[in-house]
Amino acid sequence: MKPIRDWFKQTFSDPEVLLLTIILIVVLAAIIFVANMVAPVIAALVIAFLLDGLVERLKRLGVSHIVSVSFVFIGFILLTLLFILGLMPILVRQVGEFFEQTPAMMAEFQRLLLQLPEQYPDLVTEEQVRGFIADLGRSFVGAARALPSLAGTSVVTLLTAIVYIILVLLLVFFMIKDKVKITEWVDGFLPRDRDLTTDVWRQVNRQIGNYVRGKFWEILIVGVVTYVVFAALGVNFSALLAVITGLSVLIPYVGAAAVTVPVAVVGFVQWGTSMDFLYVMVAYGIIQALDGNVLAPLLFSEVVDLHPIAIIVAILVFGGLWGFWGVFFAIPLATVVQAVLRAWPRASAWRKPI
């Protein structure tokens, strides 16, 4: 116990380490207990990180702060309206068509699956195929039963979403407009000797800001390229598949693997085991390979230099703690942990002097 006691005394006798620890505990407690209540604030922070870089670039070009903020904010609203009025109707229509065609697609999917034992008797048996179809049918029935309850809350959900959107827009505007004032206000509650905390904040601010902006462009590029390729190949629901493919980059490795399933199902039902189905899967594989090996390194460089093992562990840990949103923010949260570990004092009672 003595080494542990010595390490604890040596580490936390430093006021800066103690301050950083208290801040981390307070932030963690806030995330655990009030994250659901302040969801609009978290969403606004993400968007503010995205827009702040554009504001700073305009200011470096000589544009005044208020003009830069107004220009970027209005541009963001216009792009959001363009998405809602331009892309959303297409997505809603394709989602409706998908549910309308689901029974026919399921029947065609079953027919094609039942042909597999005849074509590949050494690899697949009819019992395995029928068992898979039964499991798939039970999953589909469960999802179908849940739809009425979702439809019943659609009006309430819509009104809540409208209120949240208004709140988020207001928060975003004031966050980028009064960034300096907000920062100075927070600084007023902290002691002057906080070099360690300031160092961690600078790393987190730089890395998360670049991560958010980089992910935005990655989602946009991957989504647009996927739509163009799928539309050229004549894939059904190409816009819907392009959107989920673009969003899949938010969850490294896992997202690409998960989206492979709907792409494969749609292509398999549409073309069976023909060459067209092969072309679609090869095209999807090439898009994911180019994203992982070319686009992502260009956008992020060494900003988020996390090892793949660290990324997977972060997804598992934060996903287990906070579900979907934990997975969604796994990389930024892992970046915070990395910044803290880099800034944390290395010398301790655990290590013998050389």
| 62, part of any domain | no
Enclosing domain of residue 319: 195-346
pLDDT recorded at residue 2: 65
pLDDT recorded at residue 224: 92
pLDDT recorded at residue 350: 47
Tell me if 306 sits within 8 A of 338, measured CB to CB: yes
| 74, part of any domain | no
Q: Using CB atoms within 10 A of its CB, is residue 236 exposed (0-12), middle (13-18) or buried (19+)?
A: middle
Q: What are the φ/ψ torsions at residue 40 (nearest 5 degrees)?
A: -60, -35
pLDDT recorded at residue 282: 93
Residue by residue, DSSP assigns 102-131 as: HHHHHHHHHHHHHHHHHH-TTT--HHHHHH
| 22, part of any domain | no
**Two tokens at 279?**
């072309």
| 42, part of any domain | no
| 228, part of any domain | yes
What is the count of structural domains for the chain? Answer: 1
Continuous H helices in the chain: 2-12, 15-34, 39-60, 65-82, 88-119, 126-152, 154-177, 179-187, 195-233, 238-247, 254-271, 275-290, 296-300, 308-328, 330-343
| 234, part of any domain | yes
pLDDT recorded at residue 232: 92
Round to whole Å and give the CA distance between 50 and 43: 11
* Location of structure tokens 């494969």: 264
pLDDT recorded at residue 274: 80
pLDDT in tens, the chain (354 residues): 666 666 666 666 667 777 777 877 887 777 677 766 777 787 788 788 778 888 888 888 888 989 999 999 999 899 888 877 877 788 778 777 777 777 777 777 777 777 777 777 777 777 777 777 777 666 665 555 555 554 455 556 667 777 888 888 888 899 888 888 888 887 777 777 777 777 777 777 777 777 777 788 888 899 999 999 999 999 888 888 998 999 888 777 778 888 888 888 888 888 877 888 899 999 999 998 888 778 877 776 555 566 677 777 877 887 777 666 677 677 777 777 777 777 676 554 445 554
pLDDT recorded at residue 349: 43
| 261, part of any domain | yes
Q: What are the φ/ψ torsions at residue 38 (nearest 5 degrees)?
A: -110, 30
pLDDT recorded at residue 228: 93
